[in-house]
């Protein structure tokens, strides 16, 4: 792709042009003015936008930097009413189109990567008119840009910064210098239009796998396929949660499974609890499930961090997100189907990924990945999962709610992660129904 020449080259042409032999042009004042005017016009046409649109200003965002130069993902939650640009620069200065930087331009008709903050067609590196990529006027949207100096690439998308949601790519040719010293992030927007800004050190490279296995179980074939990861690749918050719930002793014993199954039948205690939740939340019966909490609220999660969730056959959650928290989920019985969405937005109807997790399989979510999902039990038996949550170590706000999309109204709402039963209370209910026999303590040896 043809790149724009440095400004210095055009200056050199101008100075060479003004040193023409005077004998060929004489001392005619009008001719001299015409020659100089033509030279200035040539420079102006190169250095200025070809259209009448002014070059947008570059406002660099305080405390938002690439910790590793020219590497990482930047996600900005933006509510914009007109086109805007995002800049990656080695300095916190407005280049005014006079220096090579990387520019993302988002409008209602197209999305571009540019090599300069100008309107010159020759600085366009990549372009898309895909409707999914375009500006969503007046809506709160997560727009992201990934820069990867090792793979010499730029990527753009909406929602979560992952390969599955990439909408525009640029791969720098080997004969074109890739800018490898970029640190600062700017936009053409005013501060009030940027609702949230976040930098992640990893660039978007390959599709992110939702399945997690212990490092002792992963194979070479699984590494090559890239659909499974190990806990060592996940954030430290997920590693801490995994260490608690993913062990082989975290199981739902057979007698407890049988008792739960019996109590989910009409007229029994767990079924009646589902009916009660249906009335309270004005929902359909198949939109209910049971939350059984374990332990206390330690203050580092939305609600109590450890939750046994019981999903009757055919039941599902609403589409919801998890307060920008980390989570690890293990299937204790049967299987659960998961649909992942790019964001919590009534206009987003289709998931970008679906996966089915069987007994003993583990998945996860983080503030920047798999944060918005819907869980569905598509089997003919109940499903049990253990979910655990933890805020990011640098999260000082601790949003205490799970936001969700109301199926009936198609509006966003929120709920407080609550408790239907404690685990001890669940066992007591099952024993009181007679479906779970009290455990007998082993007799001490004489």
pLDDT digit string (tens) for 58-69? Answer: 999 989 999 999
Choose among 423, 393, 415, 387: nearest CA to 300.
393
Check residue 358 and give its pLDDT: 97
- Contact, 133 vs 158, CB < 8 A? yes
Choice between 29 and 385, residue whose per-residue pLDDT is larger: 385
pLDDT over threshold 70, residue 34: no
- What is the C-alpha to C-alpha distance for residues 102 and 157, in angstroms, rounded to an integer? 16
pLDDT reported for residue 219: 86
Q: Is 171 helix (H, G, I), strand (E, B) or coil?
A: strand
Q: Of 339, 372, 362, give the one whose Cα is nearest residue 231.
A: 362
User: Hunting for tokens 């997100």 — which residue is that?
Assistant: 321
To which H or E segment does residue 14 belong? helix 7-18
Tens digit of pLDDT for each residue in 358-401?
Answer: 999 999 999 989 999 999 999 999 999 999 999 988 888 898 88
Residue 289 clears pLDDT 70, i.e. is over it:
yes
Hey, what are 166's tokens? 């990439």
Structure tokens at 135: 């500006």
Q: Is the pLDDT of residue 444 over 80?
A: no
Q: Which domains are delineated in the chain?
A: 59-200 (2.60.120.200), 211-432 (2.60.120.10)
CA angle 276/282/287 to nearest 5° reads 75
Phi–psi pair at 15, nearest 5 degrees: -65, -35
pLDDT band at 164 (very low <50, low <70, confident <90, very high): very high
> How distant, in Å, are the alpha carbons of 108, 257, 263, 426, 430 from that of 433?
61, 14, 8, 11, 5
Prediction pTM value: 0.82
How distant, in Å, are the alpha carbons of 198, 310, 438 from that of 257? 43, 10, 14
Beta pairing partners, 127: 112
Lowest mean pLDDT among 80-89, 233-242, 312-321: 233-242
| DSSP assignment of 104-165 | EEE-SS-EEEESSSS--GGGEEEEE--GGGS--TTSEEEEEEEEETTTTEEEEEESS-SGGG
Region 174-194: what's the mean pLDDT? Answer: 93
Paired tokens of 285:
């019966």
């Amino acid at each position: 792709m043809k790149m724009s020449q440095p400004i210095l080259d055009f200056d050199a042409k101008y100075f060479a042009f003004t040193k023409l032999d005077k004998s060929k042009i004489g001392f005619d004042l009008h001719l001299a003015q015409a020659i100089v005017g033509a030279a200035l016009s040539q420079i102006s046409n190169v250095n200025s936008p070809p259209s009448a649109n002014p070059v947008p200003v570059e406002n660099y965002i305080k405390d938002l930097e690439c910790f590793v130069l020219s590497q990482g993902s930047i996600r900005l939650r933006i509510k914009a009413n007109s086109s805007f640009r995002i800049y990656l620069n080695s300095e916190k200065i407005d280049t005014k189109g006079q220096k090579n930087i990387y520019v993302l331009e988002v409008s209602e008709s197209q999305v571009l990567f540019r090599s300069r903050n100008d309107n010159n067609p020759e600085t366009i590196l990549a372009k898309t008119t895909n409707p999914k990529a375009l500006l969503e006027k007046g809506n709160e949207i997560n727009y992201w840009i990934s820069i990867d100096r090792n793979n010499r690439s730029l990527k753009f998308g909406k929602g979560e910064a992952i390969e599955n949601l990439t909408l525009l790519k640029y791969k720098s040719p080997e004969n074109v210098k890739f800018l490898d010293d970029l640190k600062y992030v700017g936009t053409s927007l005013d501060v009030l239009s940027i609702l949230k800004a976040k930098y992640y050190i990893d660039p978007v490279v390959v599709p992110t796998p939702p399945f997690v296995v212990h490092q002792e179980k992963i194979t070479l074939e699984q590494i090559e396929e890239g659909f499974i990861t190990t806990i060592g690749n996940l954030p430290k918050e997920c590693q801490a949660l995994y260490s608690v719930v993913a062990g082989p002793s975290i199981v739902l014993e057979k007698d407890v499974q049988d008792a739960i199954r019996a109590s989910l039948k009409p007229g029994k205690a767990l079924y009646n609890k589902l009916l009660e939740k249906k009335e309270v939340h004005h929902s359909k019966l198949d939109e209910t499930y049971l939350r059984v909490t374990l332990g206390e609220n330690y203050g580092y999660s939305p609600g109590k961090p450890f939750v046994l969730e019981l999903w009757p056959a055919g039941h599902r959650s609403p589409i919801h997100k998890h307060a920008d928290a980390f989570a690890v989920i293990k299937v204790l019985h049967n299987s659960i189907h998961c649909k992942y969405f790019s964001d919590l937005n009534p206009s987003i109807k289709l998931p970008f990924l679906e996966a089915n997790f069987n007994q003993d399989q583990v998945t996860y979510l983080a503030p920047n990945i798999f944060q918005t999902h819907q869980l569905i039990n598509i089997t003919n038996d109940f499903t049990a999962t253990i979910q655990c949550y933890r805020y990011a170590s640098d999260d000082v706000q601790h949003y205490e709610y799970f936001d969700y999309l109301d199926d009936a109204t198609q509006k966003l709402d929120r709920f407080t992660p609550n408790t239907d039963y404690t685990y001890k209370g669940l066992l007591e209910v099952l024993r009181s129904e007679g479906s779970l026999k009290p455990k007998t303590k082993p007799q001490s040896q004489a």
